[in-house]
Amino acid sequence: MRRSFVGSLLLALVVSVALGGAVAQETKAPAFDGVAALRHVERLVAIGPRPAGSPAAAKTRRYIVDELKAARVSVKVEPFEADTPHGRLAMANVVAVLPGRRPDVILIGGHYDTKWFRELTFVGANDGGSSTALLIELARRLRERPREYTYWIVWFDGEEARETWTAADSLYGSRRMAAELARTHRLPRAVIVADMIGDRDLGIRREAASTPWLTDAIWASAARLGHGAHFLGGSLGVEDDHVPFLRHGVPATLLIDFDFPPWHTPEDTLDKVSARSLAVVGHVLLDALPAIEDGLTRSGPPRP
Ligand SMILES: [Zn+2]
């Protein structure tokens, strides 16, 4: 791993010397780095199962915060307590703030907890790991190239149900954050959630309840970049961290590849995730942001 990294640096140096300034500029501000994202997944899986309220979840938060600080991204941890079927648990959302030229916020989020299981060892490489990793690299990228809108990158805690999924036992972090932002009139203008987007065999379908124009903007970018094979026709309904924001009237969309046989089994391991899938989703998201910003600007100021 380390060796091929040095190799590619050397190659980039040779190419930039050979081809001049334009390439050197590209080298300085690289596109979304799927290999770096996969490295995050590897380190997260090495922590082991990371259910909400556990010491491993705290360790995961520290990993995210340390990575952001190293990238000079401003970050805050927002602790809260959640009443669950397993009693009251200490949870925390992690929020990176990337100021743009205007204060209006686009939130890109995903969960970092892994589902708690009584008996099996579940390390959630794709389910929990892939979203956590994608968001770290997106934050790094948006720090390098600020955009018109302000971005909040959010790692939600407690997305997973402790027992069986219900309205009360699920989405602890996003429900908490959406309610708090609504109460203080600080809701974002749009929300994009990613979950289980690292599958080697990547096929994302439109999420049925998501805001159509937001989803369309992402699918248009996928087609333009030649990644249409991974962004499929047809739709399915999935409840995830975008739902609490939809309920508060915020345009929101979910990217999820739910056709993942190892889902919630001990087989959701590192070998199921690829740098390429992470890179495809990262590239497509970054490419879609200008169209999403334009859509928001055309739709006028937020409702009071
Ligand atoms: Zn899950």
Task: Record the pTM.
Answer: 0.89
pLDDT at 299: 85
Write out pLDDT tens, residues 220-244.
999 999 999 999 999 999 999 999 9
pLDDT at 302: 64
Task: Report the alpha-carbon distance of residue 75 to residue 97 in Å, rounded.
Answer: 6
Distance between Cα 224 and ligand 1 center (Å): 30
pLDDT at 303: 55
Write out pLDDT tens, residues 172-224.
999 999 999 999 999 999 999 999 999 999 999 999 999 999 999 999 999 99
The CATH code that applies to domain 32-298 is: 3.40.630.10
Helix, strand, coil shares of the chain as percentages rounded to 5?
45, 20, 35
Distance between Cα 260 and ligand 1 center (Å): 11
Closest Cα partner for 297 from 99, 138, 148?
A: 148
Residues contacting 201, CB < 8 A, separation 6+: 259
Closest Cα partner for 73 from 132, 146, 133, 129?
A: 146
Distance between Cα 144 and ligand 1 center (Å): 31
Distance between Cα 281 and ligand 1 center (Å): 19
Distance between Cα 65 and ligand 1 center (Å): 22
Task: Report the alpha-carbon distance of residue 278 to residue 130 in Å, rounded.
Answer: 7
Residues of the chain with pLDDT under 50: 1-30, 304
CB 93 within 8 A of CB 78: yes
Distance between Cα 116 and ligand 1 center (Å): 9
Task: Report the alpha-carbon distance of residue 113 to residue 115 in Å, rounded.
Answer: 7
In the chain, CATH 3.40.630.10 sits at: 32-298
